[in-house]
Amino acid sequence: MLSQIRARVFVSRRIPPKALQMLQAGCDVNCWDSDEPPSRKGYLDSVRGIDALFCLLTDKIDAELLDAAGPGLKVVSTMSVGHDHIDLQECKARKITVGYTPGILTSATAELTVALLLATSRRLKEGMRAVVNGEWGTWKPTWLCGSGLDGSTVGIVGLGRIGIAVAQCLKPFGVAQFLYSGRSEKPEAESIKAKFVPFDDLLQTSDFVIACCALTQDTAGLFNKDAFSKMKKSAIFVNSSRGGVVNQEDLLHALTSGEIAGAGLDVTSPEPLPTDNPLLKLDNCVVLPHIGSATYSTREAMAVLAAENLLAGVRGEPMPCQLD
């Protein structure tokens, strides 16, 4: 409980004003007022002596950083649903409560996942470039054909909130069957009539394979040579979760050798993807800069929820969305 004195808070980036004002009303806030992150040294210096940290998914919250903050740090609040950047065990050992922002970015992320899937399967990257480059000749019966969703099988790896929302968005396109794989069967799958299958079966039978799983020890590098070799040659792979679930060397090989037809990535490893990365040169690979949740209202809601989590944490109350 830190309410007797104003808690010292470090906010590691420029955030929507509404959330910053909420924090400033109750705490002494040091905000890194930039869209670019501080250097690691700058970050370590900035957290010294704070009570609570407002961070982003790109900030590595590990033992070194928690040590730098010191024993006063009691709250870490990330403006993200993903929390693979936070060493939760270290936080638990130090009795630091951790907040995150599930739920509110589900629709925006599902929407972007569908946009990415369509951009990849209907070859929008090539089409847009053809228009600009003057390669758009007469109407040709077989030019720039891609795969449609109607009658297709869609496999979702990691059927959490976002996976379900993606399936709900795709349903009206006439998808014949949804498959999913993951650690366990989900009762929510009933709402989209999705069938729980082993990972290999999903890879072998899906026309579209969508990664919606969190990055964990189990999923790191899950989409590797072996996985791509099991997919249909016509398969479209889409990843809007974390770059770390994909072995990008193996993906490059799968895309250039014709093992799969295309890939749409909203997340990569590293981020940003260096501009000389060979994936960026491929016609059958669409890469976006991690913009799944990037709608104005979603980003504001994420920041506000992260602020609410932080403020509850410094008052010693349960957070609206606390990680256990």
Catalytic amino acids?
290
Residue 57, SS3 per DSSP: coil
Closest Cα to residue 77, out of 103, 43, 101?
101
Burial 132-155 (b: 16+ CB within 10 A, else e): eeeeeeeeeeeeeebbebeebbbb
293 binds ligand DGY per the rule CB under 6 A: yes
Closest Cα to residue 32, out of 6, 50, 10?
10
- Least separation in angstroms between residue 69's CB and ligand DGY is 22
Q: How many residues form the binding site for ligand DGY (CB under 6 A)? A: 7
Burial 161-184 (b: 16+ CB within 10 A, else e): bbbbbbbebbeeeebeebbbbbee
Handedness of CA 275, 117, 85, 101 (dihedral sign): positive
Task: Report DSSP state, residue 263.
Answer: E
What is the x/- site pattern for ligand DGY, positions 245-284, by CB under 6 A? ----------------------------------------
- Least separation in angstroms between residue 71's CB and ligand DGY is 28
Give the residue with the Cβ less far from ligand DGY, 261 or 265: 265
287 binds ligand DGY per the rule CB under 6 A: no
Token pair, residue 176, equals 């014949």
Residue 73, SS3 per DSSP: coil
Give the residue with the Cβ less far from ligand DGY, 228 or 237: 237
Distance between CA atoms of residues 160 and 164, nearest Å: 6
92-131 binders of ligand DGY (CB under 6 A): 105
Instruction: Name the one residue in this structure whose structure tokens are 């969703």.
Output: 149
Give the residue with the Cβ less far from ligand DGY, 57 or 263: 57
157-216 binders of ligand DGY (CB under 6 A): none
Give the residue with the Cβ less far from ligand DGY, 239 or 284: 239
What is the x/- site pattern for ligand DGY, positions 55-84, by CB under 6 A? --x----------------------xxx--
Contact 306, 97 (CB under 8 A): no
- Least separation in angstroms between residue 316's CB and ligand DGY is 26
Give the residue with the Cβ less far from ligand DGY, 124 or 214: 214
- Least separation in angstroms between residue 302's CB and ligand DGY is 7
The correct pick among 106, 292, 312, 321 for binding ligand DGY (CB under 6 A) is 292
Which residues make up the interface to ligand DGY (CB under 6 A)? Answer: 57, 80-82, 105, 292-293
